[in-house]
A = this chain, B = another copy of it.
Amino acid sequence: MTDRKTALVISAHAADFVWRCAGAIALHQEKGYDVTIVCLSFGERGESAKLWKQAGATLEGVKADRRKEAEAAAQALDAHDIRFLDAGDYPLALDEAKKFALVDIIRAVQPAFMLSHSLYDPYNTDHMYATNVAMECRMIAQAWGHNPGQKVLGAPQLYLFEPHQTEQMGWKPDVFLDITPVWEKKRAAIECMQGQEHLWTYYTNLAENRGNHFRRNSGGQSGGRPAKYAEGFQSIYPRTVDEL
């Protein structure tokens, strides 16, 4: 473990981290954080339609392709590390061994903050399952009786990144992050997702509109910061501060 600050992304499928928090990853890397990405699955069954439409597609082949894409995206973001738990998707399911493997990663990383999915998602039950696992494994990582002797986890914030149809998920952002300085990296990571080209414009539009929200909330027509691109996050836990 180095002296650098760290962060941890828990992504249900291989591509989720790209659409939803690539800006946060790239930005914090530039700020001196080491950001580790954990993909619980490759999204091999449920989020690889284009690959399955090709003749001769196999599960292992699809997983390999998705892994390559995700690694390329992580590289485009200068992410410190990307890990794959290969827990299966549609449905995603982690047994105790997989959960403890995730706890090992959390403890090894000792993140200053964590990122995962929304609490509710009626379109994609894998997403809300991943969030529950994130909360559960964060708790286990804090237990002094789990692998006694290891450094236990403190109380990192768990940010929920933006789901696809925010209002349907009951997701409400309470923080907007200005990702203008790293937008080109996020766009590059997005373009690694060759199988989902129909979403490139969608998430570019979204980043621009979140930039508008950043400007409004930082002062609007009287003092607002001219952010061009932003990402939104919902906090699970309250913050502790010395100044409001």
Residues of A within 8 A of B (CB): 7, 24, 27-28, 31, 44-46, 48-49, 52-53, 57, 59, 62, 89-91, 99, 113, 122-126, 132, 135-136, 139-140, 142-146, 148, 151-155, 157-159, 164-168, 170-178, 198-199, 201-202, 205-206, 208-209, 212-214, 216-225, 227, 230, 232-233, 235-244
Please give, as numbers and ranges, the residues of chain B lying within 8 Å of A135 by CB-CB distance. 122, 125
Point out which of A167, A176, A220 has the most chain B C-beta atoms below 10 A from its C-beta: A167
A209 touching B217, Cβ below 8 Å: no
B244 touching A90, Cβ below 8 Å: no
B167 touching A171, Cβ below 8 Å: yes
Contact of A225 among B153, B177, B240 (CB under 8 A): B240
Sampled A-B contacts (20; CB under 8 Å): A24-B244, A27-B242, A45-B146, A46-B142, A48-B145, A53-B144, A91-B139, A91-B140, A124-B139, A155-B223, A173-B238, A175-B238, A176-B238, A177-B241, A177-B243, A201-B208, A202-B208, A202-B212, A205-B205, A233-B244
A213 touching B241, Cβ below 8 Å: no
State the oligomeric state as a number of copies. 6
With both beta carbons as reference points, the residue of chain B lying nearest to A151 in the complex is identified as B222
Q: What CA separation (Å) do A239 and B238 show in the bound complex? A: 13
A218 touching B244, Cβ below 8 Å: no
A139 touching B238, Cβ below 8 Å: no
Please give, as numbers and ranges, the residues of chain B lying within 8 Å of A44 by CB-CB distance. 145
Query: Which are the 4 A-B pairs with shortest beta-carbon distances?
Result: A45-B145, A205-B205, A154-B219, A46-B143
Q: What CA separation (Å) do A123 and B216 show in the bound complex? A: 10
A239 touching B91, Cβ below 8 Å: no
Contact of A221 among B59, B126, B144, B148 (CB under 8 A): B144
Please give, as numbers and ranges, the residues of chain B lying within 8 Å of A242 by CB-CB distance. 27, 177-178
With both beta carbons as reference points, the residue of chain B lying nearest to A43 in the complex is identified as B145
B239 touching A176, Cβ below 8 Å: yes
Q: How far is the CB of A56 from chain B (nearest CB, A)?
A: 10
B214 touching A240, Cβ below 8 Å: yes
Q: Given A46-B145, A142-B222, A199-B212, 5 other A-B contacts at CB below 8 A?
A: A46-B139, A48-B144, A125-B132, A178-B242, A225-B240
